[in-house]
Structure 1
């Protein structure tokens, strides 16, 4: 439960360099908060900021634009938003937009309370009105998994001078000057299990829609090296990244049913240290999640890359 008494600075009070903060070659300074608060995400050291995605997020924060990031699961869409907020000391709240989420949970509902010994009906506000009144970034995670009828709550809020109206008590809640709303989505077509096709009227309300890019081989290599901290030989680290990319290519060609996401790559790297076995770690991080019919091909590719079956120490 979020602390109602949390104290937040209501306006950015410093400016920071884009090139120094995000390693993006742009001579610009952007507003930020000088001090963090409880809602600022934790720092992920060594995070690699994609230029296009970072600039779109910054545009959303600085110019109050609605930003939707689309990309396959495990590519770090939500983490990217969090890490930008971290560098700016901007509070951030994530809502998981699953299909069970309802209007009552987002906006609020009437409930019975006891006052002076008598029952009275009071309106209990949900997370959305709470966030609107504060200088926070609201991230709608897995936006495509939310039912279309629930998304209509956001229609007015996503417009230029967005606000929400509470029919139960007639209140109109206007957002704080530093309230921002962003979202992430795996697909716009509803092609994944448990997702819904985006309504064109809804989609039209997002000012910027950015496609989360895949990392390059060297970027993935850098990520794995940061996790393993040279405890795994450099040649084996390269093979870990190589196999991940081979499996990703096979999934794209329709040969495998499960993609090898960046999240799986990070999990494999971490488990390799914990278990002191690249092969065992691979089984738990990826192989055991796959369909039985896919495992023979995956084993074959593992042997092609590593020269042996899924076993062996990190040497």
Structure 2
């Protein structure tokens, strides 16, 4: 069973779940990203797994159960809460400042379904892996989660760029490859600053932009990359010239004299430049490994061979990013 980790959005806990389970709160617009957090299988689901956390200061401490320490294996207290429609396994524990609850819910009509036992077994395995993160480490845990999301999104973008190349959809190639270059430079800036400041801190502003936040534009990313010595003046000029062309392609194809042949040539230039920037990023990753500083600097060894487990986790990350059936990869 391949497992992927999932972080509670505010950094309260981390848990491993099966790679072929989907986090449902992000799927529906009318479901908030707060407790309970729901998960279920992408295909042929017979039930769901829910996790919740609530401050003990709000819910009150139950004197009959101990308050356990964070970042260690949790002793769960199990109960049942069945009715004529649904069967529910319930687990709870008081850990540090939180009441942690887990539920396994399935329809009473599925009680003899062969996959129910598998569901319950997977839930038990997941809650056994759950760890509450110490209060002082939660902000960093959120930053790491944003970094993981960034890397997963970047990896997923290649599904789109490869399809665009196969179909010779040059405008789409320009759009997604310019995004990839921007991503390479953003992570390069984060890693370079970690090296210069000798810190593990992650500047999330470069890696994530919420809907209500004002982001950092590509032009600013180019300028900061030049100032930090990540790119040369020559690459800076090339990036800006291509970005000007990108804007013409996307916004002025019909109202200008630009030709489709020009778009194809621009797509090729973007692909070649993307490889140059990727190599620069790799060199900064290597610098962190050698200096033992930053994301790649603590006991990190680069393995050129991707294992089957790692491949499945990447597939799961791509599935969670796309949420489109024809792009969904099989995990099992």
What is the TM-score with the length of structure 1 in the denominator?
A: 0.32
What is the TM-score with the length of structure 2 in the denominator?
A: 0.31
